[in-house]
Structure 1
Amino acid sequence: MATNTVIDARGLRKEFTVYKKVGRLKRERSIVAAVDGVDVRVERGEMIGYIGPNGAGKSTTLKMMTGILVPTDGRLTVCGMEPVANRRHLTRRLGVVFGQRSALWWDLPLRESFSLLRHVFAVDAVEHARRLDRCRALLDLDEFLDTPVRQLSLGQRMRGELTAALLHGPSLLFLDEPTIGLDVVSKQAVRSFLAELGATGDVTIVLTTHDLADIERLCERLVVIDHGRVVHDGGLDALHRRYGSQRTVVADLATEPTGPVLVGGLTGVVDAADPRRLSFALPDGGLSAGALVAQLAQSVELHDVAIVEPDIDDVIAKLYNGATG
């Protein structure tokens, strides 16, 4: 029976045995749960951000989903299959870009790596050419297609890794830190490519990253894991609401105000460095940014207006620290 669910994890748990030295000769054995009852469901075509602090259980979860690790407990299906028991078949359905592993041949030109991957996955030549042409156009690969992989810059190699992960037409793509260490231009190229790829709905994408700008620009849904448990599963807006973060309207007035500026029950806070600049923090569920600007324009002459989104880094830090907002 057909289903739109690509990943279905119920009560997923992974335990490791850890030995700790006690005294000079003895070792104490303990069981540590790296993943402790994760429930997550990902539907076809979704692009989700899967994040957490170091040691939270992200990598362990991904290794179970790709069939590298056997779960200790719980249920897990990926693309309708149990990952470990069907690892060979599942590999053909997955694209994986992990920062510590490469799918490219170090001493071969990039073009030849792509050709070898076509044979490894037994991809039809016409399909392979079509997918490669698309990646060449979107990721600007042509200038270094004939360069050995070992001579590529980090940004060029990452674009090559993304292409390699997609040439066999996977239905699920795992990305681990795809923009880490990249310069601004390369980051923008990778993000634009992923945004376009996600917009087609052809590939389900799970993105793990410490660069929260990637999450903000690419993912509508965010799954946050900490100490092996899911502590948030929802949109960024819900996360901001949960932890009390606020959008801010910053207004530059044509002239310095002669007194407090009050709009819709909100008082503008004067910038210490520029008395003509006022900031209005928008409470959740209160006056919208558009309504505030419209009312403000009726009472003062505006020179410029900007809407400042809450800093997701601060929100995530609150979440990790167990704040309740």
Structure 2
Amino acid sequence: MFKRTVAVDGLTFGIDRGAAVGYIGANGAGKSTTIKMLTGILRPTAGTVRTCGLDPLRQRRRLARRIGVVFGQRSQLWWDLPLRDSFRALGAIHRLDPRPRLAELSERLDLASFLDTPVRQLSLGQRIRGEVAAALLHAPELLILDEPTIGLDVLSKERLRAFLVEQRAAFGTSLLLATHDMGDVRKLTERILLVDHGRLAFDGTLDGLARQVGAERILVLDLAEPAGPLDAVPGTRLVGVEAGGLRQRLAFAPGTTTVAAILSAVAASAQVHDLTIEEPDVEAVVRQLYARQVC
């Protein structure tokens, strides 16, 4: 027996040239299906899709010259060939000499040490950097990334994020980023589209979404010395005390207070040694948004 599932349901949006948009939602929300329609891999059963002004199905070859795509779980590199050979093959496909652009990408993404290594022998971080370089080899107008930092360590994520920011500034590249990583969304995009069950649930900024659903960020404070519970800091809610008071976790809603104000209030009773901020989980945000709509 087969069950029919509507992956994308009446979804309508547009992206301006040069914009950076985060496309977020829970697993199964329709993100990857949307990307496959935008790139001509899937045919929509209804409606119209235009990418860079082109029909992704009928003008797929022309579109391929104007977009770059990275799927975190799929590869466009040749598994058994050295990474350098994949770039040569892609250069031939796009009818360009890859060497000038590859020299720049190799320097910015630190590829030189493994350009002659077969792709199958690369670490995950090395392969993802190679995938991003391959997607940008022909200087596309639009870069589509589907979970590009999945499985990467913190340092590799930060290096990749910094590179993408630089590339957009240098070339005016449009960016569509589908991810669960709120750090990617916050650092790489200015606008978010939140989709659930194939429908557009929110179109705006990340802070705007958090304010709409009342989602809280968590400020994790590592103190210089143990202190009593910080349960009287204005605009916060104490959610945890660890290590005998050395680490305390304060929840706060963006828009109601700031980290600077919280630290100023904490300084009256404790000395902060270090701090980190935990962003709201995107799936939790989606659940809160739809719980409100149902009610």
- Could you tell me the TM-score, scaled by structure 1's length? 0.75
What is the aligned partner in structure 1 of residue 124 from structure 2?
154
Post-superposition offset of 1:311 = 2.8
The within-5 A match list for 1:184-195 is 184-195=154-165
What is the aligned partner in structure 1 of residue 83 from structure 2?
110
What is the aligned partner in structure 1 of residue 272 from structure 2?
304
Find the residue that maps to 1:206 and give its secondary structure: strand
Post-superposition offset of 1:170 = 0.9
Residues 35-85 of structure 1 deviation map (CA, whole Å, 9 limit, x = unaligned): 101111111222222122222211211111011222222232110112112
The within-5 A match list for 1:169-184 is 169-184=139-154
1:93 aligns with 2:63: no
Name the CA distance, whole Å, in 2 between partners of 1:199 and 1:155: 23
What is the aligned partner in structure 1 of residue 292 from structure 2?
324
Residues 153-184 of structure 1 deviation map (CA, whole Å, 9 limit, x = unaligned): 22222211111111112111111222223344
What is the aligned partner in structure 2 of residue 196 from structure 1?
166
2:109 to 113, 136, 139: 139
Instruction: Report if aligned partners of 1:226, 1:320 keep a CA contact under 8 Å in 2.
Output: no
1:66 maps to amino acid: T
Instruction: Report if aligned partners of 1:223, 1:230 keep a CA contact under 8 Å in 2.
Output: yes
Which is higher, the Rg of structure 1 or of structure 2?
1
Name the CA distance, whole Å, in 2 between partners of 1:214 and 1:195: 11
Post-superposition offset of 1:230 = 1.2
Find the residue that maps to 1:35 and give its secondary structure: coil
2:190 to 209, 220, 224: 220
**Any unmatched runs of 5+ in structure 2?**
none
Name the CA distance, whole Å, in 2 between partners of 1:260 and 1:133: 53
Name the CA distance, whole Å, in 1 between partners of 2:148 and 2:236: 43
Could you say which structure has the greater relative contact order, defined with CA pairs below 8 angstroms and 6 or more residues apart?
2
Name the CA distance, whole Å, in 2 between partners of 1:267 and 1:109: 53
1:106 maps to amino acid: W
Cα-Cα RMSD: 3.3
Residues 114-168 of structure 1 deviation map (CA, whole Å, 9 limit, x = unaligned): 1222111112x3xx33321221111111101112222222222221111111111
Post-superposition offset of 1:104 = 2.0
Post-superposition offset of 1:288 = 4.1
What is the aligned partner in structure 1 of residue 135 from structure 2?
165
**Any unmatched runs of 5+ in structure 1?**
1-18, 21-29
Find the residue that maps to 1:64 and give its secondary structure: helix
213-222 vs 81-90, greater mean Cα deviation:
213-222
Find the residue that maps to 2:12 and give its secondary structure: strand
Post-superposition offset of 1:285 = 4.5
2:16 to 28, 43, 58: 43
2:203 maps to amino acid: D
Q: Name the CA shift for 1:305/1:246 in 2 (closer, same or farther; >3 Å).
A: farther
Name the CA distance, whole Å, in 2 between partners of 1:261 and 1:51: 33
1:290 aligns with 2:260: yes
1:207 to 177, 189, 198: 177
Post-superposition offset of 1:216 = 3.0
Instruction: Report if aligned partners of 1:132, 1:167 keep a CA contact under 8 Å in 2.
Output: yes
Q: Name the CA shift for 1:210/1:293 in 2 (closer, same or farther; >3 Å).
A: closer
Find the residue that maps to 1:97 and give its secondary structure: strand
